[in-house]
Structure 1
Amino acid sequence: MIKAMLNVENNQDINKFYKLILFLKRKEAQDDKYLMFKVVAVIGILGACRREELCQMRLNNIEDLGNTLVVNIPDSKTRVSRTFTVITETYIDLYRYKEKIHDVL
């Protein structure tokens, strides 16, 4: 997340800072335990979702179009469904990895 945000917001590529990358990897939450939390956090933040909206969402509310994810928030507090897209490759890959884990389970 930090690497992606620095790249998007400040046009900074931190891949050449090897010690920093190693430090961040040691501090990163492990996917085998926290992957679903990461996916929910990304959707919650990008979609400006309320907690009730996140609880009501299901996997079929997310449509994978290849280079874009279309997320439908079914029923909000205002009783109007909302839709937003995710175009950041890092977030799309995170979602797809979650799908692979879900298929195995």
Structure 2
Amino acid sequence: MPKDVTETVFLAYFQELSETYSPNSSWTKWSMLKSMVTIHEKRDITKFNELQAFLKRKSKSYKPKKSAVLSPKDVIRFLKDAPNDIHLLHKVVLIMGYFGGCRSQELLNMKISDIEDRDSVMVVNVPESKTGVSKKFTVVDEKEFSALPLLRLYMSLRPKGIERFFLSFRQNKCTSQPIGKNILGKSPAKSQCI
């Protein structure tokens, strides 16, 4: 970076950025630039007061978008009303996430051998968690919806001999192909469609 690159150049750059990026993203870019300029050029852009004032002004009236959140009523409505022939996989993902508080990677790694059916309850072992500590949870029928019949239906539609629990679900049957993390991650969005 030439020594004649001044605060005015940075201001022009960030004014251009502010037309397409949110203030949060602009601050992220500033932080990355600050680190790179400090390391490679031995210059301190934290002393560019006009630049920081510009970024603060842009941030002042900014309201970040809120992510859509499923309410308990939305979850129950989806589990009750969505047709099983299309949404059974998404229902099972939602049930396992709801009862177990599982991360998507924990659901992805879940195996059929991790699930034990004890008639009135299903016990699920989660051996590979992010914290390195295995955990167990139970799935029971709630007053508002029956989770166990949905799990049993999904398990009955799975082909034998495949260890991964979550498999692709098409035309009211499971295929032998395990689902990936992107399909798993889209399950909550599917429940908003109903």
TM (norm. structure 2) is 0.39
Q: Does 1:94 align with 2:147?
A: no
* Map 1:1-105 → 2, pairs under 5 A: 28-88=81-141, 90-103=146-159
Q: Determine helix, strand or coil for the equivalent of 1:36.
A: helix
Q: Distance in 1 between matches of 2:147 and 2:108?
A: 20
Give per-residue Cα distances to partners, 1:28-52, cap 9 Å, x unaligned: 3221121011111101111111111
Q: Determine helix, strand or coil for the equivalent of 2:123.
A: strand
Q: Distance in 1 between matches of 2:149 and 2:112?
A: 15
Q: Determine helix, strand or coil for the equivalent of 1:76.
A: coil
Q: Determine helix, strand or coil for the equivalent of 1:88.
A: coil
Count of residue pairs brought into register by the alignment: 84
Fraction of identical pairs, as percent: 38
Q: Structure 1: which 4+ aligned runs deviate by more than 3 Å?
A: none
Give how far 1:100 is off.
2.1
Q: Which has the larger radius of gyration?
A: 2
TM (norm. structure 1) is 0.68
Q: Distance in 2 between matches of 1:86 and 1:65?
A: 10
Give per-residue Cα distances to partners, 1:34-72, cap 9 Å, x unaligned: 101111110111111111111111121110011110011
Q: Distance in 1 between matches of 2:114 and 2:89?
A: 15
Give how far 1:84 is off.
0.7
Q: Distance in 2 between matches of 1:53 and 1:28?
A: 27
2:111 maps to amino acid:
R
Cα-Cα RMSD: 2.5
Segments of 5+ residues of structure 1 without an aligned counterpart are: 6-23
Q: Distance in 2 between matches of 1:72 and 1:32?
A: 27
Q: Distance in 2 between matches of 1:31 and 1:48?
A: 23
